[in-house]
Amino acid sequence: MADEYIQETKSSPSWQLPAIIILALLALGGLAFGWSNSAKVDEVKQAAADQMKTFQQSYQQDMGSLKDRLAVAEKADTELQGDLKVITDKLKITQGQLKKARTEAQESNSQTTAMVKNLDTSVHSELATKASTDDVKTVDTKVTKVGSDLDKTVSDLNMARSELGTLIARNHDEIDVLRRQGERDYTEFTITGKNQPQKVGNVTITLKGVNEKKNRSNIQYTIEDKTYEAKNANVNSPLFFYLSGTHTPEELVINKVGKNTISGYLSVPKPNAQPATAAASTKSGS
């Protein structure tokens, strides 16, 4: 009997195929994940490389600018050192000159002080030898009197005289000159505005009008209850009036005329004062 051929068929377990598929899917997922990460790593590397390149360029530019500034600073420092040396040299010379000038000034002051001291001693010695104290006082008195007479003469020459012989002051300085003579009292005034009476000494003055171009004014003045009017009165032309029982007149003088304003002075003789004309006659008679 022929040998019987018996073929046995062995079947694979049912779980192997799904396992293989799952493993394949996992492998594919791993590959995809690895590829994705690799691409990201490349992007990160490229970004880092770009940033490094930009940083290097910026660094090189900054270093170049810093080198340029350092070169300029070194040049300026060299120039400053040169200037400082020149100034220092000049300062040394100036200090030497200043010291020399101070020394010379001190020597000059010492010499001047000695000369003044010697001159003072010499003058005192000569005065003691040539004149006594009374003689010196007499000379001083004479010099003072000559100076006063000279001042009076100059004032008389510069000032005009009225028809009564009194000096006419034209401004404040000349009024002060007349005050120093001691013969009369002087009251200065300024009146502003029309028809506004103003008391000046023992006289009430009212401005009525002005003519600036011709230096004239119209005024009223009241004294001892009597009112007088002066029309077209010229500047520096005195108005004379007498008080009851007196023989020496008072004088009203307008020195300046402006827009609705006048300025001047009132001159009143002092008690027991000798009139200028009488004084002049007495001097000429003596």
- What DSSP string describes 26-48? HHHHHHHHHHHHHHHHHHHHHHH
Q: How many domains does the chain have?
A: 3
Closest CA to 180 of 211, 201, 159: 159
pLDDT score, position 58: 79
Based on the fold, state whether residues 121 and 146 are members of the same structural domain: no
pLDDT for residue 167: 86
Any domain includes 227: yes
* End-of-domain residue from the set 161, 183, 215: 161
**What pLDDT band is residue 227 in, cutting at 50, 70 and 90?**
very high
Q: Cα–chain-centroid distance for residue 237?
A: 44
Q: With pLDDT > 90 as the criterion, what percentage of the chain qualifies? A: 29
Q: Is residue 67 part of a domain?
A: yes
pLDDT for 88-97, tens place per residue? 776 665 677 6
Average confidence (pLDDT) over 1-30: 67
Q: Do 146 and 140 form a contact (C-beta atoms < 8 A)?
A: no
Stretch among 82-86, 95-99, 216-220 having the lowest mean pLDDT: 95-99
- Examine residue 284 and state whether it is found in any structural domain, yes or no: no
Residues 231 and 174 placed together within one structural domain of the fold: yes
Is 2 inside any structural domain?
no
The average pLDDT across 71-97 equals 75
- Beta-carbon count within 10 A of 204 CB: 14
Contact 256, 237 (CB under 8 A): no
Q: Name the token pair of 11.
A: 């079947």
pLDDT of residue 163: 75
Residues 61 and 51 in one domain: yes
Can you give the pLDDT at residue 280? 39
Q: Does residue 55 sit in the same domain as residue 117?
A: yes
Half-sphere exposure of 152 (CA within 13 A, CB side): 11
User: Quick one: average pLDDT of 178-200?
Assistant: 92
Asked whether residue 269 falls in the same domain as residue 178, the answer is yes
* Cα gap 234→253, rounded to integer Å: 9
Is the pLDDT at 282 greater than 50? The verdict is no
**Residue 281 covered by a domain:** no
Assess whether 85 and 117 both reside in one domain: yes
Same-domain check for residues 124 and 30:
yes
Percent of the chain clearing pLDDT 70 (strictly above):
67
pLDDT at residue 43 tops 50: yes
Single residue among 161, 181, 205 that ends a domain in this structure: 161
pLDDT in the model for residue 123 = 59
Closest CA to 216 of 249, 257, 182, 175: 257
In the predicted model, is pLDDT for residue 129 greater than 50? Answer: yes
Res 260 pLDDT > 50: yes
Residue 73 lies in a domain: yes
Look at residue 109 in the predicted model and tell me its pLDDT: 58
What pLDDT sits at residue 258? 93
What is the arithmetic mean of pLDDT over 184-196? 93
Quote the mean pLDDT of the chain: 76
Q: How many alpha carbons fall within 13 Å on the CB side of residue 79?
A: 6
Both tokens of residue 117? 């001291």
pLDDT score recorded for residue 254:
94
The domain that holds 243 is classified in CATH as 2.60.98
CA–CA separation, 194 vs 29, rounded Å?
Answer: 121
Give the model's pLDDT for residue 1: 45
- The model's confidence at residue 276, banded by pLDDT at 50, 70 and 90, is very low
Confidence band for 182, pLDDT divided at 50, 70 and 90:
confident
Burial of 84 (0-12, 13-18, 19+ CB in 10 A): exposed
CB within 8 A of 184, min separation 6: which ones? 166, 178, 267, 268, 269, 270, 273
Is residue 279 in a domain?
no
User: For residue 263, is pLDDT > 90?
Assistant: yes
Please say if the pLDDT value at position 152 is more than 50: yes
Q: Tokens for 122?
A: 């010499």
Distance CA 277, CA 271 (A): 16
User: DSSP string of 52-86?
Assistant: HHHHHHHHHHHHHHHHHHHHHHHHHHHHHHHHHHH
> Do 150 and 183 reside in the same domain of the chain?
no
Model confidence at 122: pLDDT above 80: no
Reply yes or no on whether the pLDDT at 35 is more than 70.
Answer: yes
Same structural domain for residues 38 and 67? yes
Query: Token pair of 264, please?
Result: 């001047």
Give 4 or 187, the one with higher predicted confidence.
Answer: 187
Structural tokens at position 135:
């003689």
Query: Are β-strands 167-168 and 184-192 bridged in parallel, bridged antiparallel, or unpaired?
Result: unpaired
Residues 259 and 172 in one domain: yes
148: tokens are 């006063």
CA distance 257 to 217: 7
Same domain assignment for residues 191 and 265? yes
Among 119, 144, 161, the domain-final residue is 161
Domain extent at residue 151:
131-161
> Is the model's pLDDT at 201 over the cut of 70?
yes
CA distance 208 to 195: 6
- Token pair recorded at residue 77: 């420092």
Q: Looking at the domain assignment, is residue 39 inside a domain?
A: yes
Facing residues of 227 across strands? 222
Task: Tell me: do 29 and 109 sit in the same domain.
Answer: yes
